[in-house]
Amino acid sequence: MKFDLHSHSRASDGELAPVDLLNRARAHGVTHLSITDHDTVSGYADLSTPSGIELITGIELSSSWRRRGIHVLGLNIDLQSDELLAGIAEQGVRRMRRARRIADRLVKAGLPDIHDDVIAAAAGANVGRPHFAHCLVEGGYVRDVKQAFRKYLGDGRRADVRQAWPPLGDVVDWIRAAGGSAVLAHPAHYRLTRTKLRELVSDFKAAGGDGIEVISGTQDAATTRQLSDLAGDFDMSASAGSDFHRPGVRRAELGGFEPLPEQCRPIWETW
């Protein structure tokens, strides 16, 4: 069995349609896949699972902890849960609010109001900076996407607006209300000190978190050891996933990662 419990389809920022994602996962030896799109479960709409692979419902929710963006995976969730769907709707409202503020900043910088074009360009998907960049290029205000970020949208630039996400505990509540397991995604990616990381895991567990993602794509052995020790110290389950977004990224290929260390308690064994 090979569980890959972290992947993205084009329902968020991935490249493949959900069914193509499943087929590719199967071709890479994955027996159980979770599609964990950012703040949406729309990839699951009308999705029929091809034979030879099992689908585990999931989502990757954005949250904040001490002013940092922290990602939480909700696995094995009830897709119809009212609480979860309300939470997802709230994330959408937050994104829309930010889009309005970015557009206002661009107006202040002397550009026309491209807000409505940006919403149209997002076509119902989660609106974000790439859609702004696209519209700035289309309108001839910048040469290319790179310049759009360098001049306006990038960190610290005139139209850089921080996204305000709900507290960590809120997204854990939504996941648990949907009967799912809450897993701290890619803990090594936040560049926290050892002490801070332990504080994060401690707070996450206190909020009702069930597990931590011990394996995130291909990673070095020291990281795996550190994260499996962390899971052990806090008596939490362990998860593993590629964080696949598109073909051609070798460190994040479907199923392309080491198995969980022996000492770990796999999250799927708790289901």
Closer to Mn ion by Cβ: residue 130 or 232 = 130
Measured from the CB of residue 196, what is the shortest distance to Mn ion in angstroms? 18
- The CA–CA distances, whole Å, from 232 to 3, 73, 225, 257, 265 equal 20, 19, 10, 20, 9
Least Cβ distance, residue 266 to Mn ion (angstroms) = 19
CA dihedral 22, 27, 30, 32 (to 10 degrees): 30
Residues in the chain: 271
Q: CA–CA distance from 72 to each of 130, 171, 186, 193, 199 (Å)?
A: 22, 7, 9, 19, 16
- Give me the residue whose beta carbon is nearest to Mn ion: 71
* Closest distance to Mn ion from the beta carbon of 61 (Å): 10
Beta strands in the chain (DSSP E): 3-4, 32-34, 54-56, 58-65, 68-75, 181-184, 211-216, 237-241
Q: How far is the CB of 8 from Mn ion (least distance, A)?
A: 5
Contact in structure between 63 and 72 (CB atoms under 8 Å) = yes
- Provide the minimum distance between the beta carbon of 76 and Mn ion in the complex, in angstroms, as a whole number: 17
C-beta closer to Mn ion: residue 173 or 243: 243
Shortest distance in whole angstroms from residue 216 CB to Mn ion: 9
- Which residues, other chains included, contact 27 with Cβ-Cβ below 8 Å and sequence gap of 6+? none
Q: Please tell me the distance from the alpha carbon of residue 167 to that of residue 66, in angstroms, as a whole number.
A: 9
**Which CB, 12 or 81, lies closer to Mn ion?**
12
Q: How far is the CB of 185 from Mn ion (least distance, A)?
A: 5
Nearer to Mn ion by Cβ, of 237 and 242: the residue is 242
Q: How far apart are CA 153 and CA 132, in angstroms?
A: 8
Cβ neighbourhood burial of 125 (10 Å; 0-12, 13-18, 19+)? middle
Please give the Cα distance from 82 to 72 (Å, whole number).
19
Q: Which CB atom, from 110 or from 248, has the smaller least distance to Mn ion?
A: 248
Could you give the CA distance from residue 255 to residue 248 in angstroms, rounded to a whole number? 14
**Closer by beta carbon to Mn ion, 244 or else 268:** 244
Q: Which is nearer to Mn ion, 186 or 205 (CB)?
A: 186
Task: Please give the residue ranges that form the binding site for Mn ion (CB under 5 A).
Answer: 13, 60, 71, 185, 243
